[in-house]
Amino acid sequence: MKTKDVVKIVIGVILVLGGVAAGLGVAAGGSGAEDALAALFVVIADCGVGAALILWGTAARRRARREAEAAKQAASEAEQKRLLTPWLCPACGAQTKGDVCEYCGSVRP
């Protein structure tokens, strides 16, 4: 993981924790409706921006994992197609499937 992605995640976590702390402070203080509304906005904004930064910081890793899984799936499908494709054995002339001739046991060229 790159340093800039780690920084995004750390800042996101700090913002989420700050939003939660602000919410707890308002709940404990309970001074007035206007203060509570302003604090609620801060909580929502901090948590939203923090969550967005966390997701943004981990997006490259998730994308790389999806691409690796797709490449692995494509390679597996290509191997299955190759194994199911009939071929002529150079040793005995039989048409067979797989890596080894079913009739004489010679390996596929």
Q: What does the mean pLDDT of the chain come to?
A: 81
pLDDT of 31 above 60: no
Question: pLDDT digits over 63-108, tens only?
Answer: 889 999 999 999 999 988 988 889 999 999 999 988 899 899 999 8
Residue 39 domain flag: yes
Nearest to 8 by CA among 66, 63, 42, 56: 56
Pick the range with the lowest mean pLDDT from 39-43, 52-56, 80-84, 93-97.
39-43
Task: Say if pTM beats, i.e. exceeds, 0.85.
Answer: no
Domain count, the chain: 1
Is position 90 within any domain?
A: no
Place of tokens 């009739």: 103
| Domain annotation covers residue 89 | no
Range(s) of the domain holding residue 35: 3-79
Q: For 94, how many CA atoms within 13 A lie in the half-sphere containing its CB?
A: 13
> For residues 84 and 95, what is the distance between their CA atoms, to the nearest angstrom?
12
